[in-house]
Amino acid sequence: MTKEKQKTAPSKSALRRQREREQRYQTILKAAEGLFAVDGYHKASMEKIADVAEVSVGTVYFYFKNKEDLIVQLLDKIGFQLRNCLGAEYKKAAGSIDGFRRAGQVFFEEFCPRYPEKIAIFFRESAGQSSHVEKHRKKIFNRLIADIEDALQLMSEKQGIVFQSSLSAQVMATSILGMFERIAYQYLIWQDRSDDFEIIGKDAVAFIVGGINSLCR
């Protein structure tokens, strides 16, 4: 995608071009995000995406290999944001259970209300589309789960806790992600109870903390 011809310092106009390119790319991605979230992946045609992004279909194909690529890039981006968001909290907590508390809070009280479209794409539109997309989805979900698992392991080490089984940490991590997913789906996508997200988040976090504790011997 990036050409590697000129090894000399890039000229001013080249820089500007580079900037414009990046902008276009983001504009198209943004358009796709909105349409996928609202109309659904299949109903959102490439033409409509191009229309919303105010470019031609050809241009969309210049920046993205195909329609699949669009959702895959979107998936990657959202996954990245999500990991950043939650990961930061785990790190800050440095092995204490507080990390899980905070991560939950950030997810429910900040991420969800702020990026409902990303939630819809990450948990709804990207599901069951094609094997290629599904492969990506799996990878990203696995990374998120691994992050949580790592935090759990760190906690167990720091606090000398032993889990019930060798799989416990992974199962717990998966469980937490599943909770995040369905609660967001339920209270954000299906019902719109953004206002209650503080209480919902608190309950969810308490559930998680309790669940984690019970898996410790």
Partner DNA sequence: GATGAATGAGGCTTCATTCAT
Partner DNA sequence: CATGAATGAAGCCTCATTCAT
Q: How far is the CB of 53 from its own copies (least distance, A)?
A: 12
- In the complex, least distance from residue 28 CB atom to DNA, rounded to whole angstroms: 9
Binding residue for its own copies (CB under 8 A) from 22, 54, 157, 192? 54
Q: How far apart are CB 67 and DNA at their closest, in Å?
A: 4
Question: Which CB atom, from 25 or from 207, has the smaller least distance to its own copies?
Answer: 207
105 lies in the binding site for its own copies (CB under 8 A): no
32 in Cβ contact with 74 (< 8 Å)? yes
In the bound state with DNA, the residue whose beta carbon lies nearer, of 42 and 182, is 42
What residues from 16 to 75 belong to the interface with DNA (CB under 7 A)?
Answer: 17, 20-21, 24, 42-47, 55-59, 61-63, 66-68
Site string for its own copies, 131-170 (x = CB under 8 A): -------x--x---x------------------xx-xx--
Residue 209 binds its own copies (CB under 8 A) = yes
